[in-house]
Amino acid sequence: MAVHATIQKVSWMYTWRIRLRLWRRNLADFWYELEQRPVTLLGGLIVLAYVIAAIFAPQITGRDPTRGKLLLRFEPPAWEAGGSWEYPLGTDDQGRDLLTRIIFGARVSLAVGLLSVSASVIIGTALGALAGYYRGWLDNVLSRFADLLLAFPFLIFAIGMMAFLGPGFANLVLALAFKGWVEFYRLVRGEMLAERTKEYVDAARVAGLGNIAIIVSEILPNIIQSVFVLGTLRLGYMIIMEASLSFLGLGIPPSIPAWGSMVSSGRNYLLMAWWVSTFPGFAILLLVMAINLFGEGLRDILDPRLKIE
């Protein structure tokens, strides 16, 4: 009995050792692919820097992003005439440090982007999988609704939603996810239609699996990579949407520093203090570009079928 237990324990350890080795090998493969693509790597590093900045924002700057000194309005960036390293990127119309506000703004942008994309992925994948697998009336209803949503331009739709819901963090995520899921729905539904006719699905049914088990544990693992890649690419788009809505005053309330509203507030002083609008805009540009570079590289690594030569 004791021997038996020992053998089982050893076998379990053996399993985990091989599993860890495999994971490490996969990670090594991924790293190797990444090293072949310096641009992707650069994009990834920039995104990583943004994420770290967002998480450790208070520790990095040590300043309050919402409080300024009105005596120090429109301080220019350090390298301009009259600037000082006290405020490396200058100050805005209320004398608040621009760098601090940009770093804190990363929190909002990343949070809204990640949350709305996650919500879109979950809703879109679930509905797309059901529609693509079962087809029939469910597919018809969902697909027509998706077509309806696709007929609206994203920004117009989001403006309408926000005007209806009112500004606010949760409302913004809701509005973005309400339309964002359609992309994932269409992707997953299409992949599902292709996968459900494959023989391994028949084999799973022959083995006695039920429909839901087949969807979740057999088919989804095969298409989740495409979803992941699309999610990365949509993240940048969602961040732009958040910034656009904040720019229009429909997104994040002005009490929270957000890049869109910062660009908007600096717009009035563009001729006398160009930096107030320019630096938040540049922050958006850099982040979205880095996300897209990283996402496209990720697509090439994870989903070779979609590769554009």
Residues that bind another protein (CB under 8 A): 5, 7-9, 11-12, 14-15, 18-19, 22, 198-200, 202-210, 217-218, 221-222
| Min separation Cβ 137 and another protein, Å | 13
| Min separation Cβ 35 and another protein, Å | 23
| Min separation Cβ 208 and another protein, Å | 4
Compare residues 49 and 224 and give the one whose CB is closer to another protein.
Answer: 224
Compare residues 11 and 140 and give the one whose CB is closer to another protein.
Answer: 11
| Min separation Cβ 203 and another protein, Å | 5
Which long-range CB contacts under 8 A does 216-220 form with residues at least 24 apart? 219/129, 219/133, 219/192, 219/195, 220/125, 220/129
**Residue-by-residue DSSP string for 193-228:** HHHTTSHHHHHHHHTT--HHHIIIIIIHHHHHHHHH
Bridge partners, residue 91, by sequence: 97
Compare residues 29 and 80 and give the one whose CB is closer to another protein.
Answer: 29
Q: At what angle do helices 154-165 and 169-195 cross, to 10 degrees?
A: 140
Compare residues 22 and 27 and give the one whose CB is closer to another protein.
Answer: 22
| Min separation Cβ 27 and another protein, Å | 15
Copy the structure tokens of residue 197.
Answer: 């006719």
- Cα 219 to chain centroid distance, Å, stands at 24
Q: Is 91 helix (H, G, I), strand (E, B) or coil?
A: strand
In eight-state DSSP terms, residue 83 is: -
Cα(170)–Cα(135) distance, rounded to whole angstroms?
33
In eight-state DSSP terms, residue 94 is: T
Sequence-ordered alpha helix ranges (H) in 78-198 = 98-134, 136-150, 154-165, 169-195
| Min separation Cβ 215 and another protein, Å | 13
Compare residues 73 and 205 and give the one whose CB is closer to another protein.
Answer: 205
Contact 44, 30 (CB under 8 A): no
Compare residues 31 and 200 and give the one whose CB is closer to another protein.
Answer: 200
Give 272's contacts (C-beta < 8 A, 6+ positions apart): 74
Contact 302, 29 (CB under 8 A): no
| Min separation Cβ 141 and another protein, Å | 18
| Min separation Cβ 201 and another protein, Å | 9
Cα(123)–Cα(189) distance, rounded to whole angstroms?
12
Compare residues 220 and 293 and give the one whose CB is closer to another protein.
Answer: 220
Compare residues 163 and 194 and give the one whose CB is closer to another protein.
Answer: 194
